[in-house]
Chain A
């Protein structure tokens, strides 16, 4: 298995632009998580999907952030408009029910200038 695949690996964008991050979970996993990691705040859960349905989005910072999971093999996290404080590493992780741990993608390092 190729693991959790995220794209792009790096993204540099100007403030105000739209940013779309992509994630392909491990085949057969039914849970998907989007995390943001910064030095100041560590790993923060943004949103959790189970069987493609958003279950908990209480960690989404504000309306500028949105996430979708149109099918079991694809999810997107969109930031519109982006701001410099959104600069962070964004990780996607998937799991099977969660009792067996979570597999992370390599992350997207986002820089908003």
Chain B
């Protein structure tokens, strides 16, 4: 089993739709989780951290399920500008070393 797994997509959704991505991780000792966004030919940028109680930032909601070892990202009211690749990041258990998933591609169309 890979350390961090994501559905590569692409997820093709209309503007205004709600879309959700999941990411599973294999190391039950992992403590830190993040979602990053990467635009074509750009560097990854931090979208949001993922906290145990779940957290929200505007249209974006992140959840952590430790029992099933997955994190999720929900995007409400999708915008054209949300089109990008979304990378799940999990720190190796007991360290600050991040492992990146391969990313999920989102395409929002008019």
Contact = CB atoms under 8 A, between A and B. Distances in A.
Interface residues of A, number: 23
Contact of A45 (B32, B99, B102): B99
Interface residues of B, number: 20
Nearest to A50: B96
Nearest to A104: B43
Nearest to B8: A42
Interface in A23-45: 31, 33, 35, 42-43, 45
Q: Which of B32, B43, B100 counts the most chain A CB atoms within 10 A? A: B43
Given A43-B87, A99-B32, A33 B45 contact: no
Given A42-B102, A42-B103, A101-B34, A95 B96 contact: yes
Contacts of A98: 32, 91, 95-98
A28 to B, nearest CB: 15
B43 A91 contact: yes
Interface string B89-110: 1010001111111110000000
Contacts of B101: 42
Interface of B: 32, 34, 42-46, 49, 87, 89, 91, 95-103
Given A101-B34, A102-B46, A102-B98, 8 more contacts: A31-B96, A33-B97, A43-B87, A48-B97, A50-B96, A98-B97, A100-B49, A104-B43
Interface of A: 31, 33, 35, 42-43, 45, 48, 50, 55-56, 91, 95, 97-107
